[in-house]
Structure formats: C-alpha cells, structure tokens
Chains A and B, each alone.
Chain A
C-alpha cells in the first residue's frame, strides 16, 4: 500500500508553516532570498473554511487517476507512492482534471537552461507531494508543524488506527448492550 502524508484537522491551527517548509524543501538553497508570491507553490495547501483548517496534499491514491489519464507516463506508481518524472511532462493538465483533491498542479518550471541538459525546452512540469523522498529526515512539513498535526501514514499505521476504532466500537457496544446496535436481532 502507498504511503501518504496526512494532517489531523483537529490539531491544525492554520499557521501555514508547513507550506513554507514545503517550498523551501523543494527549492535551491537561496530560495529564501528569491521567494515571491509568484514563485510560491507549496505541494500541500492549507485550506481554511468556517469550520475547519487543514493542509491538503496528494493522497498517493492506489488507482491514481492522475497516472491513469497522463498520456506521457509522467506519473508512475513507484516506491509505494505516485512519482513524477518531470522531463516527460508536456503540460496538458490532464492530471489536474483527474485529481479529485486538487493537489496536483502543472506549473511553469523555474529551472533555467543552466540546470537542464542543454535543451531549449522545459517550461512546465507537474508538481505534487513527493513525500520529500530527497530528504533523509522525511517530509519537511511533518518536521516543522508546531502542533504535530501532520504525520506519514502507511499500511501499518492505518491497520493500527482501524484496530483502535474497532476496539472503541466494541466498547460502545458493550456499554449499551447488543439491543442498541441497529440491524442486530435482539433476543
């Protein structure tokens, strides 16, 4: 099963520190100096509504609709995640339409000619949460969150969460007796 970064809306205070950490983790060392509203493209976005604040980011879907519709194989299922191979992107934005969560974007590429193999192209690329695979210490957003609201979830963590909830359900059932469980025949 794929790994994913997920936030707990119950803890998030909407400070957007994770967004800044994300941008810095995916930029050159001098990014702090050059940062501007136009170039600020975090891969996780804090959403604030009247009832909730939480960062949203790629869920690394098992069936990855973005990868299904991508005509060039830019998005691939690899290393328990959905990976981007930027040099293959032709900027058609199919992935943006396919993604249910709005967490993949096709953006003008900041890389200049100097960064690429000598080629005159490379203007756009698909950008999404890559679980900070390039960082030894894991996702930057998790590290900086002052509320410890963000965590990385894999099959083991999910199984443990499910076990806890079953336990909770059993306790509720025990407290109220079997007669209160809808759909169960009472004796």
Chain B
C-alpha cells in the first residue's frame, strides 16, 4: 500500500509529510529541531512533558498551542515551532519542570538551550530527579510486556512505583527502565553476584544473577533469561557471557582456517 504524502507548512517552509505522521515526525524528518523529554521512537506518543509545544492551525485543527508529539499532520496544516508565544509557553513549561526536578542534569541542559536557568516555581515542594515522562513505565509495559512499575498517586503525589510500593515480584531485572530514564532516577547496580534496581535510593527489585556456565562471571537474571529464551526458535539452555561466546565462535572458526583463500 502506497503511503499518502501530504504537504505541511513548518515555520513558513512547505514540506511533505506522510499521512499519519505527527507534527514532531514531520518536523524532525525535515531537519527542524523540537525539544522533547518524554518522546521515544520505540514507544507510543504520550504527551506528558509538553516541551514539544508548537502553534498549529489548519483544516480540522483549531488554531492554538498543541503538543507536536501527539498531533497528527493534516493537509495544509501550518505549524510555528519558534514563534513568540511558543517560546514563551515552552519557557514556562521548562520552569514548571525545573520546579519539580531542579537537580536533573539533562533537564537543566535542555532547558538552558531555551534560556531557562532558574525557576520561580517549586519552593517548598518535594524535589526529585523524576520528570514523570513515563518512559520507564512505558518501556516496561509496552515493550518488555511486564508492567512491573507504573504511576501511582495524583498531582504532586504522582510517582513511579512498583506494586504496592513493595519489592517487585513482577520485575524481571532487564534494566530497560534505567536505560531509557533521561535523568538517572532509575538505576541498575550489579555487585557481588546480585542485581538491584533502584528508584532514587529506594530498592525496587533485587535478584541473584545467573553466572556464565564457562567462566562463572555473574551475568543475567533468571527471569529475564527465561523470557528471552521463549522468543527463540530453538532451545539455547546455556548461559554464556560475551567473551565465552566469542571464544566458542573462534574455536568453530578454527576448523575453517584457509578456506577463504
């Protein structure tokens, strides 16, 4: 099926976009920079952080501010990514985010690009690194298929949490949450043959690690190994570290010495 292309005007420039793309997709495909915090190409549009705010007007789009990551493009749509009102709004959004997470390195550096270095908000509020972007929650649920963490509470009390805030029984210890976390709020620590997943300083899951059957190096959690092996066509029962796998490969290669010449 051919993908329909439509034309959109971004900052006055006429560009083509694919039907079904969001304003963010179309803008980035055409080299326009729009900041994002909660967007990830592998995960669905979410619209939590609002820093991708733009001004859009056109057919079926009431003129106004909208999140670029959740608004689909339509034929003849006109988008302003840097107009005065967009810049002003974006600055306030950054100030609000900084009010909650003033210590977040990545948030500060991206806010600085938009001229925001301090915030009038957040005095007396509880500060932490989490910007409530939901990347960890979505990666765990949508892609790993586990949903060991989710949001709990409302308003100021909204937090990433395990079931009942206890040590998670669902978590498989893959660490994708920590890998996508933009602020370092969620971390994975391996030490002494054990893996702990931390949210801030709170341990949210704890696992003994399976060791490499050849060299005994601690490697991976049993639950994660099981989940991944299910996806493979043939049984790969052995747990091997990268180095030991490569040694096996080299030993196999040895038998084929000189056949390429």
Binding between chains A and B: yes
A residues bordering B, Cβ < 8 Å?
6-11, 45, 47, 49, 51-54, 56, 63, 65, 68-69, 71-74, 85, 87-94, 96-103, 105-106, 113, 117-121, 123-124, 151, 153, 157, 161, 165
Contact of B245 (CB < 8 Å), options: A63, A88, A102: A102
By size class, the interface of chain B is: 35 or more
* Chain A proximity of B199: nearest CB distance (Å): 17
Query: Among B3-11, B38-46, B55-63, B161-169, which stretch is in contact with chain A?
Result: B38-46
Contacts of A87 in B (CB 8 A): 41-42
Q: Beyond A113-B106, A117-B34, is A49–B251 a contact (Cβ under 8 Å)?
A: yes
B250 x A92 contact (CB < 8 A): no
Bound Cα distance A99, B238 (Å): 12
Known: A98-B231, A102-B244, A102-B249. 15 other contacts (CB 8 A): A47-B250, A56-B250, A89-B179, A90-B43, A93-B175, A99-B245, A100-B249, A103-B246, A118-B110, A119-B37, A119-B39, A120-B107, A120-B109, A121-B106, A123-B181
Bound Cα distance A91, B3 (Å): 30
* Chain A proximity of B97: nearest CB distance (Å): 10
* Chain B proximity of A106: nearest CB distance (Å): 7
Q: Which residue of A lies closest to B172 (CB)?
A: A92
* Chain B proximity of A98: nearest CB distance (Å): 6
Q: Say yes or no: is B128 at the interface (Cβ < 8 Å to chain A).
A: no
Q: Say yes or no: is B154 at the interface (Cβ < 8 Å to chain A).
A: no
Bound Cα distance A157, B261 (Å): 11
B247 x A49 contact (CB < 8 A): yes
CB interface residues, B 118-144, toward A, < 8 Å: 131, 135, 139, 143-144
Q: Say yes or no: is B254 at the interface (Cβ < 8 Å to chain A).
A: yes
Contacts of A113 in B (CB 8 A): 106, 109-110
A69 x B232 contact (CB < 8 A): yes
Contacts of A120 in B (CB 8 A): 36-37, 106-107, 109-110, 131, 182-183
Contacts of A54 in B (CB 8 A): 250, 253-254
Bound Cα distance A88, B43 (Å): 8
A10 x B257 contact (CB < 8 A): yes
A96 x B242 contact (CB < 8 A): yes
